[in-house]
Amino acid sequence: MPVPVIPLNAAGLDIENESMRIIDAEVPEPRPFDETQWPVVRRMIHASADFELMDLVRFHPLAVAAALKALQSGCAVITDTRMALAGLSARLYDPLGCQRYCLINDPRTLERANVSGSTRAAAAVDVAAAEHRDAIWVVGNAPTALLRLLELVDAGRVVPALVIGMPVGFVQAAESKQALLENESIASILVRGRKGGSALAAAALNALAGMALQAATKPDPEDA
């Protein structure tokens, strides 16, 4: 297959479109994801150049529909790290009215972590949960954040619209995502095993936000 030559002065969108074309070509149909799931997985592959994600990404059956409904209603989005927060593009979320938060450095989080002896990531979940019962949660780094969120779900303290569970690493990362996968009451998108990261988690939600924004701005055929 000839390697496409992209001019050095090419626009960013041109490069992105060519990247997506290459991904589509390297993962021909039929794919193990439906037409609403594939844009999410493709965006994650684009962010990581990791085609092993084809075997690792798991969707709850209601995940995409739940995400689009929540995003179009202007839901809050909670991330476990500043890095994940930085990866959520304002051009996608501002038009939808979705506020994004990361409370890892919030003074209330620091105080709770000091008192309880928990990680700041877990303490931040408690602080955010008190204010955002039905948010979308984006966990790309901290297994303790995901495990604490699951505890709050079991206790009935939060009812997430969607959980993107992609903590990365060797300690409790795979286990926390397995626990999320086994909780069928939670609409979720996750990466099984040790892989994950803030960039992947943000990419997944960005893909969904793009879909939600496109649907929200699509002209009504009756108005044509």
Supply the residues annotated as catalytic. Answer: 46
201 in Cβ contact with 139 (< 8 Å): yes
Report d(CA 126, CA 130) in Å as an integer: 6
CA–CA distances in Å: residue 62 to residues 6, 27, 59, 189: 39, 24, 8, 10
Report d(CA 165, CA 182) in Å as an integer: 12
Q: HSE (CB half, 13 Å, CA atoms) of 62?
A: 12
**Residue 39 parent element (H or E):** helix 38-48
